Amino acid sequence: MSRPTQTLLACLMLLLGAGVSAQQPAVAIPKGINATFKDPDLNVDDWIGRFEVESREVFSARREVLAACDVRPGERVADVGAGTGFYSQLFAKAAGPSGRVYSVDIAPKFLEHIDERALAAGLRNVTTVLGADDSVCLPPESVDLVFICDTYHHFESPQRSLASIYRSLKPGGRLVLIDFERIPGKSSEFVLGHVRAGKGVFRSEIVDAGFEFKDEIEVDSFEENYLLRFVRPKD
């Protein structure tokens, strides 16, 4: 084998190696990643100040995200990792009185806040659900859309949680995932230390759980986040 050929092969191996390594989980799920949210003394106002500000991409782009979710009147939506509930409110209005939104979270304080917020807004189609570390705790084939925003990287048991999400979706139901781009050398130190893997890994995990990848929606204002859409195949 000639030296140019050897050099070319070596370069190809390096490139392939880089691509493979970029698709592997870079860090373990940080220990205690969800402890703060389970704290009975959780200060919801602090999190409103972090979550519901225009400097947060998923808040400032909420109208574009809502359009990508394509919620129709009468649909049932699961907002998984609902947090302070601002997306739950948008979904409730889009689904209308004949629809329903299930605000799923592991934080009882967030759920109390969402209940109070829905009552104040006159939204009677919002139901709060206390999720588990490995389940969204929803009945089989009960929802048309599952929405997971900046929450998937918090799943402590991704495979079991995905299995519960798959069961909860009706055949043909949609899954919308938003999470952080994790690119070594580009992403922030917070993301590199907090988010266990990049887009390719998360996409593969969801496909391995039985979902079909549909597409990636380009949200103009997203710099740190991405939006992927999946479908549960029809039986």
All domains of the chain, ordered by start, with CATH? 27-231 (3.40.50.150)
Q: Please check whether residue 83 is in contact with residue 154, taking contact to mean a CB–CB distance below 8 angstroms.
A: no
C-alpha angle with apex 187: 182 to 190, nearest 5 degrees? 90
pLDDT tens by residue, 63-95: 999 999 999 999 999 999 999 999 999 999 999
Instruction: Give CA–CA dist 178/33, Å, rounded.
Output: 18
The pairing of strands 225-231 and 212-217 is: antiparallel
pLDDT at 32: 85
With a cut of 50, list the residues of the chain below it in pLDDT: 1-25
> What is the distance between the alpha carbons of residues 51 and 167, in angstroms, rounded to a whole number?
29
- Cα of 112 vs its chain's centroid, Å: 21
Q: Which residues, 6 or more positions from 155, have their beta carbon under 8 angstroms from its beta carbon?
A: 29, 161, 162
How many whole angstroms separate alpha carbon 217 and alpha carbon 82?
Answer: 21
Distance between CA atoms of 48 and 56, rounded to whole angstroms? 11
Residue-level pLDDT at 19: 39
CA dist 212 to 149, 172, 180, 230, Å? 19, 10, 21, 5
Please state the pTM of the whole predicted model.
Answer: 0.88
pLDDT score recorded for residue 127: 98
pLDDT value, residue 30: 83
Closest CA to 175 of 140, 210, 201, 199: 210
Q: Facing residues of 217 across strands?
A: 227
